[in-house]
Amino acid sequence: MTKNPLNLRLSEIISLGDTFKFYRKRIDKYNNELNAFLQVRTLSEERQGFPYATKDNILALGTRTTCASRILGNYDSPYDATVTKRLNSKGGQLLGKTNMDEFAMGSSTENSAFGPSRNPWDLSRIPGGSSGGSAAAVAAGLTPFALGSDTGGSVRQPASMCGIIGFKPTYGLVSRYGLVAFASSLDQIGPMTRCLQDAADVMSMISGHDSRDSNTIRHALSFDISLGGNLKGLKFAVPSEMLSYPGLDEEVKERFLSTTKEIERSGAVVEVISIPSVEYAVATYYLIAPAEASSNLSRYDGIRFGPRQQSEDYEGLTNESRDIGFGKEVKRRILLGTFTLSATYYDAYYRKALKTRRVMAGELNKVLDEYDFILNPSSPVIAPKIGEITDPLAYYLMDIYTIPANVAGLPSISVPAGFVNGMPVGVLMTGKRFSDVSILDAAKGIEDLSPSFSDGLAIIPERWTE
Amino acid sequence: METKVSDKLLKHLEGLAKLELRDDERIELKKDIEEILQYMTLLDGVEPDAYEMITPVEKSLEPREDEVVEFKESILIRDLFPEAEGSYLKVPRIYKEEK
């Protein structure tokens, strides 16, 4: 191999055709430090095609799908997810499955039953989450791209903390068949890549209607395009509530404002506007998502798969299997969801959250009738140190910028936009439903002016380039 | 909004959620859930004049044809059974002895 794949875009890697071994060896060399992969496929047979990785909640025949949970610790995938099948049909070769917060519940990978992943920019810090293993793997050049799942920011927040692209497509554009369900009205699979063109190329392979996911729409979008990156004439709205959020770190805010100035210099209009309901985003989300999760996770009962605790009767077996199988955060959310769905509290909590969701979606769509995109930081802070945050609510509040897109089913992307204290930060663009191609094109404009890229690819920290 | 979770309520929720928490877990999770519910009081002043939004999909989706499709990997699903007899899934009894 004469070219170094770390310097190539996905289309060039695809044309090389023999890079599986190159990435697989890098995983052997570096994964002990990063804990990005939970399992990798063998090198024994020759694998031609382009390598990729998926989060460990996406099924792939021949692999385990653990969701980073003890309760699925021995679960061998009985079929391929639609995204896996589609990538493989285009010549994809799965490198392995990446670490995550258990059942995608978390923002740091600290909730993985197999230990946290580490941020390639500073090993003492989290990579973000829940798709933190995928983000760390792409950022350290252990795979050309990875798939993650995004329920409240789980693709975009870790992408931002690791300095790569993270794209959550419009709800219904990518099939979730074979994605282990967390909160079904919010879940969406998305690509994590080192440049915008790669994200478009992955979308061209994985998006589209699937009869096995009744939420996928028949609205065909073509991602088979060369992105232009023209920002001139575009109108961006920055919600004042996002800028005045008390948890927003001053230096992250400064970096974000500096990026908005550069966007303006490229000929776009950036205006601060108000979207009052986004203040309720976290409360709304953490009422809806745990409610859906408590229902989705009822299937893990030790009966048909997973470790089974022996007990004299069904009730004891189920309760003990679940108690031993689930981690603390998962139990917390199941209990919270059970509380809000219980007859006494349903109206006051769950129903109110669904109504607030409608109001928030309405306000976001109204702004997007006037502006092309909504712009805000991807995360209010840089990646915290592992173990630094122990209060669950503190982590929940960090999702404030990414949640609105899931609540309304909108496409949203995090683009690396420089560094704060040596750690990557991102800007988040959110657009109208089905504006996915336009959002990728405009995000390419931000990529072109961002200091986070070199020769059109997100910079890999020097430590991992040997 | 209610923000206190009594021991009795927590025990009830455990039953509904099919969990059997240890005492130390119970204390910690009760405290966390009360803190989270306290934050949810942010919605106390909100009385949205809207109907519930349960999905972002606005258009009604076309149902697919009902057709029988052979699932070729059924053996792989049977291989996941924690206990089996032949090709049957072995399950525990669902009744309890009268005491």
Closest chain B residue to A211 measured between Cα atoms? B64
Give the mean model confidence (pLDDT) for residues A430-454. 98
CB neighbours of A305 closer than 8 A, spacing ≥ 6?
A: A72, A75, B80, B81, B82
Give the mean model confidence (pLDDT) for residues A247-260. 98
Quick: pLDDT tens for A128-153.
999 999 999 999 999 999 999 999 99
pLDDT band at B99 (very low <50, low <70, confident <90, very high): low
The answer, yes or no, to whether residue B97 has pLDDT greater than 80, is: no
pLDDT band at A46 (very low <50, low <70, confident <90, very high): low
- A133 three-class SS: helix
Q: Do B46 and A314 touch (CB under 8 A)?
A: no
Q: Give yes or no for a contact between A309 and A315, defined as CB atoms under 8 angstroms apart.
A: no
Quick: pLDDT tens for A309-363.
988 888 899 999 999 999 999 999 999 999 999 999 999 999 999 999 999 999 9
Among residues A55, A97, A253, A432, which one is catalytic?
A55
Domain ranges of chain A: 5-233+411-464
Q: Which member of A307, A318, A358 has the closest CB to residue B48?
A: A358
Q: Is A154 one of the catalytic residues?
A: yes
Residue of A74, A105, A355 to mutate, testing the B interface (most B Cβ within 10 Å of its Cβ)? A355
Q: What is the pLDDT of residue A1?
A: 66
* B42 contacts in chain A (CB < 8 Å): 279-280, 283
* B13 contacts in chain A (CB < 8 Å): 335, 338-339, 342
Question: CATH assignment of B7-45?
Answer: 1.10.20
Give the mean model confidence (pLDDT) for residues B27-49. 92
Q: Is A131 one of the catalytic residues?
A: no
CA–CA separation, A281 vs A353, rounded Å?
9
Residue of B29, B36, B77, B78 to mutate, testing the A interface (most A Cβ within 10 Å of its Cβ)? B36
Token pair 């500073």 is found at A122
Closest chain A residue to B22 measured between Cα atoms? A323
Structure tokens given for A141: 């050049």
Structure tokens given for A110: 């600290």
ipTM, 2 dp: 0.93
pLDDT band at A42 (very low <50, low <70, confident <90, very high): confident
For residue A35, how far is the Cα from the chain centroid?
17
* A317 contacts in chain B (CB < 8 Å): 92
Give the mean model confidence (pLDDT) for residues A442-456. 98
Quick: pLDDT tens for A169-216.
999 999 999 999 999 999 999 999 999 999 999 999 999 999 999 899
Beta strand pairing status for A146-150 and A50-55?
Answer: parallel
Torsion, CA A261, CA A436, CA A453, CA A259, rounded to 10 = 10
CB neighbours of A176 closer than 8 A, spacing ≥ 6?
A: A184, A187, A188, A189, A213, A215
Q: What is the pLDDT of residue B98?
A: 67
Q: Do B43 and A352 touch (CB under 8 A)?
A: yes
Q: Do B13 and A338 touch (CB under 8 A)?
A: yes
Q: Which member of A283, A317, A335 has the closest CB to residue B17?
A: A335
Structure tokens given for A408: 């309304």
Give the mean model confidence (pLDDT) for residues A230-238. 98
CA–CA separation, A64 vs A77, rounded Å?
6
Q: Do A362 and B50 touch (CB under 8 A)?
A: yes
| Shortest Cα distance, chain B CAs vs residue A119, angstroms | 27
Q: Do B18 and A284 touch (CB under 8 A)?
A: no
Q: Do A331 and B21 touch (CB under 8 A)?
A: yes
The answer, yes or no, to whether residue A458 has pLDDT greater than 90, is: yes
The answer, yes or no, to whether residue A255 has pLDDT greater than 90, is: yes
The chain-wide mean pLDDT, for chain A, equals: 96
Q: Is A90 one of the catalytic residues?
A: no
Q: Where are the beta strands (DSSP E) in A121-277?
A: 146-150, 165-168, 188-193, 235-239, 269-273
Domain ranges of chain B: 7-45
Helix axes A328-341, B7-17, angle to 10 degrees: 100
* A322 contacts in chain B (CB < 8 Å): 18-20
Q: Which member of A317, A323, A335 has the closest CB to residue B92?
A: A317
Query: How many contacts, defined by CB atoms under 8 Å, are there between A and B?
Result: 174
Q: Give yes or no for a contact between A131 and A88, defined as CB atoms under 8 angstroms apart.
A: no
Q: Do B77 and A78 touch (CB under 8 A)?
A: yes
CATH fold label, A5-233+411-464: Amidase signature (AS) enzymes (3.90.1300)
Q: Which member of A298, A303, A349 has the closest CB to residue B1?
A: A349
Among residues A69, A154, A175, A412, which one is catalytic?
A154
Beta strand pairing status for A146-150 and A188-193?
Answer: antiparallel
Q: Do A354 and B80 touch (CB under 8 A)?
A: no
Quick: pLDDT tens for A362-397.
999 999 999 999 999 999 999 999 999 999 999 999
Q: Do B53 and A172 touch (CB under 8 A)?
A: no
Quick: pLDDT tens for B77-93.
999 999 999 989 998 88
